[in-house]
Structure 1
Amino acid sequence: MSFMRQCKLGDVLKFGNGKVRPSSEGAIPIYGGNGILGYGGAKNYDGETIVVGRVGAYCGASYYENRPIWVSDNALSAKAKNGYSAKYLYYLLRNTDLNQHAEGSSHPLVTQTLLNVVDAEVVSDPDEQKVIASVLTSLDDKIDLLYRQNKTLESMSETLFRQWFVEDAQEGWDERPLSGIANFLNGLACQKYPPANDLEKLPVLKIRELSSGISETADWATSHVKPGYIVEAGDVIFAWSASLMVKVWDGEKCVLNQHLFKVTSNQFPKWFYLRWCKHHLAEFIAVAASHATTMGHIKRGDLDTAMVLVPPPPVLETMSKQMQPLLDKQIAIARQRKTLEKLRDTLLPKLMSGEVRVAC
């Protein structure tokens, strides 16, 4: 395609090294190999700068900034050369799996020398580059806004919960174990439930997917499992082994794998058992860390010893009138965010390859 140009990354970007993080305190972001790792009082780059993780499992990950920053020695900088849009090139790098070019298996590493010779294909017209970047930036901005809205809603929910059950808890409220207010269904050993064909199958929800979402590398299982093991958006999932976390699932329909609990209750509202699971999470993480095993975990007995305050039904109903709308809105926003992320991830490679073009 004549409007596309074959080149090397070094033809369009000037890479630079980071430096040891400054000791001074301040508000300037300090970038490491996996994003912002802190803040300091000095800068070594300003203006439009792309940061590329240099070392570790996330080497090759790219970040864009247009303000003073410090790039540490675990990252590289990249500046757009004349005639190229920095934001467009940032999306070009996001669409390029730089991690696959890393050297070393136990300690992956990307270098300036390596990145300079990576093959690339870029849109020749600077104006079209800017329009492409604008389309993708608009989606990213909306996704970020939704993320921040959900963080605010989460903070509001946490504040109300602490006020009711920690600061102003009433004497005489019923005390029960966490295991007494909800059902904790452990997932399946999904390797024992392989799909029989490509039509009757679902992706497997493991700890990795709970953290990062379903990807092309996800395992698959048959869809013919008991309904309880099917996970839908809005379900509460508790990872009880390795990386302990409690999340409201916001992804696609999938099958629950072992090491994850699906948390439900026929007696109490979702917000109630979700917040109590989150309330005890730090305690559970400490318990898991104390186990002398290669993979920390909690046991069902830990759910029995984690205590919950249960207010009288009229009080709980009043609380639900405030809490349930917050949770419902969080779930709705999460779904909207997932939709936009899917749209962005679909458009990104098509815009970068020229398969889809935008009018200038």
Structure 2
Amino acid sequence: MEAGMSRDGWRECKLGDVAKFKTGKLNSNAAAADGIYPFFTCSPETLKIDNYAFDEEALLLAGNNANGVFSLKYFHGKFNAYQRTYIINLNNSCDYKYIFYALQKEIKNLEFTSHGTATKFLTLSILNTIPILLPSISKQKAIVSILSSLDDKIDLLNRQNKTLKAMAETLFRQWFVEEADERWEEKPLSDIAEFLNGLACQNYPPVNDNEKLPVLKIRELSSGISEQCDWATTDVSKNYIIHNGDVIFSWSASLMVKIWDGGDCILNQHLFKVSSKEYPKWFYFGWCKYHLEEFIAIAQTHATTMGHIKRGDLDAAMVVVPLKKELETMTKQMYPLLEKQIGNSKQINALMQMRDMVLPKLMSGEVSVD
């Protein structure tokens, strides 16, 4: 291996020194919902397909993405891959998961070096020259053990949240779709909650580094706060300052409804903060999600420039409201499910911050694993 020596026996090399690259075989239209083998594409979600082309341990890197964010995954077994996904095989001087974490450290820079305008894509010349700092194989495995323990806890909490979400959605559908009581009052969605549109945050630039917060836009709602986010002053009405647990509804472009868990930020235009002084959070959140497919269909009819819904669409979306005592009984079941999800999300963010803080220190040898 062509590599320079670093301190404490760590070797400086390039990814191309320790890896060989292949590309996937199929295009994204090949995915089948009833397949049994993983099919890796540029989407964060792994699809399923009924055949496989690879049976090996590999790192998979989605080589193109419209927003310049590249998906990296570790896999061992039978799989297939999109033709613009790189399959990375390593020599025996490397632990696969160590290189997985090493690439995570470097991959954030790839959007600045990748080619393309509308769609960003990676080339072999870029991949070959990614710098890697390589300790002994035993140190690699020790580093992986630390980082994997954090990722395993994050994965456990995410799986818990997926189960809690499914339970809440099942209860909501049973109560309001399958068993709705004729005595219950029908109201517009806009009557059970307030929909506060965000600010044109470019008009509220930060005045100093102490009194500012990241701006919550559609991109951040989808992918989380990042180093590329915009910033705004905190000298705005407190109603526009978003906290963990707030319900956020993107009503333009990519329509979605989420309970925010990314920390304090400033609400940008094209997003609603949904709240209510009269009804519990689970209730108006559930109804927003229930009507989401309908809203997406409406937005598509307005998509001459950017699909969106209007206030009138909130007025036209109807909900049913149980009697007060029945709503209180439902809340006793729903509240713990929602609060547990919010609590888990808080833990997930704390663990991710810890992992992201310690990862570069471990991967550079700054923090010893001896």
TM over 0.5, shorter chain: yes
> For residue 339 of structure 1, what is the aligned residue in structure 2?
350
Residue 221 in structure 1 maps to residue 232 in structure 2: yes
Q: % of aligned pairs identical?
A: 53
Look up the match of 2:24: 18
> Is residue 135 from structure 1 mapped to residue 141 from structure 2 by the alignment?
no
Equivalent of 1:322 in 324, 333, 340: 333
Other-structure match for 2:251: 240
Give the match's secondary structure for 1:69. Answer: strand
Task: Please state how far the C-alpha of 1:39 moved relative to its aligned partner.
Answer: 1.8
Is the alpha carbon distance of 1:43 and 1:306 closer, same or farther for their aligned partners in structure 2, counting shifts above 3 Å? same
Partner SS state of residue 106, structure 2: coil
Aligned match of 1:111: 123
The one-letter amino acid paired with 1:124 is: P
Conserved? CA contact 1:16–1:112, under 8 Å: no
Amino acid at match of 2:196: L
**Among candidates 180, 188, 199, match of residue 210 of structure 2:** 199
> What amino acid is aligned across from residue 53 of structure 1 in structure 2?
A
Distance 1:183 1:34 in 2: 33
Residue 123 of structure 1: aligned partner: 134
Q: Does the aligned pair in 1 maintain the 2:13–2:133 contact within 8 Å?
A: yes
Number of the residue aligned with 2:54: 45
Alignment partner of 1:100 is 2:112: yes
- Counterparts of 1:110 and 1:295, CA distance in 2: 28
Classify the secondary structure of the residue corresponding to 1:29.
strand
Specify which of 70, 73, 80 is matched with residue 83 of structure 2.
73
1:84 aligns with 2:90: no
Q: For residues 181 and 263 of structure 1, what CA distance do their matches in structure 2 show? A: 10
1:119 deviates by 4.0
Identify if the C-alpha distance between structure 1 residues 314 and 243 changes in structure 2 by more than 3 Å, giving closer, same or farther.
same
Tell me the distance in 2 between the aligned counterparts of 1:33 and 1:210. 19
**C-alpha deviation, 1:113, in angstroms:** 4.1
Bigger Cα displacement from structure 2, 234-243 vs 100-109: 100-109
Q: How far apart, in 2, do the equivalents of 1:180 and 1:227 lie?
A: 23
Deviation for aligned residue 1:36:
5.0
- Measured in 2, the distance between the counterparts of 1:251 and 1:89 equals 28
- Where does residue 74 of structure 2 map in the other structure? 64
Q: Distance in 1 between matches of 2:268 and 2:69?
A: 29
Contact 2:31 2:48 in 1 (8 A): no
d(CA) in 1 for partners of 2:70, 2:185: 53
Equivalent AA in structure 1 for residue 312 of structure 2: G
Structure 2, unaligned runs of 5 or more:
1-6
Deviation digits for residues 116-144 of structure 1 (CA, Å, limit 9, x no counterpart): 2x142323210000111121122112111
After TM superposition, give the deviation of residue 204 of structure 1 in Å. 1.0
Q: Distance in 2 between matches of 1:154 and 1:290?
A: 30
The amino acid of 1:20's aligned partner reads L
Is 1:30–1:39's contact at 8 Å kept on the other side of the alignment? yes
- 1:319/1:60 CA distance change after superposition, 3 Å: closer
Secondary structure in structure 2 of the residue aligned to 1:251: coil
Q: 1:131-280 to 2 correspondence within 5 Å? A: 131-280=142-291
Gaps of 5+ in 1: none
TM-score (norm 2): 0.92
TM-score calculated relative to the size of structure 1:
0.95
1:100-159 deviation line (CA, Å, top 9, x unaligned): 33233334332334422x142323210000111121122112111111111111110111
Q: 1:190–1:149: structure 2 CA closer, same or farther, 3 Å change rule?
A: same
**Matches of 1:110 and 1:90, distance apart in 2:** 17
Query: Contact between 1:195 and 1:220, CA under 8 Å: does it hold in 2?
Result: yes
**Cα distance in structure 2, aligned partners of 1:200 and 1:187:** 19
The 3-state SS of whatever aligns with 2:55 is: coil
- 2:168 partner letter: S
Tell me how far apart the structure 1 counterparts of residues 44 and 286 of structure 2 sit (CA, whole Å): 29
Structure 1: distance between partners of 2:187 and 2:44: 42
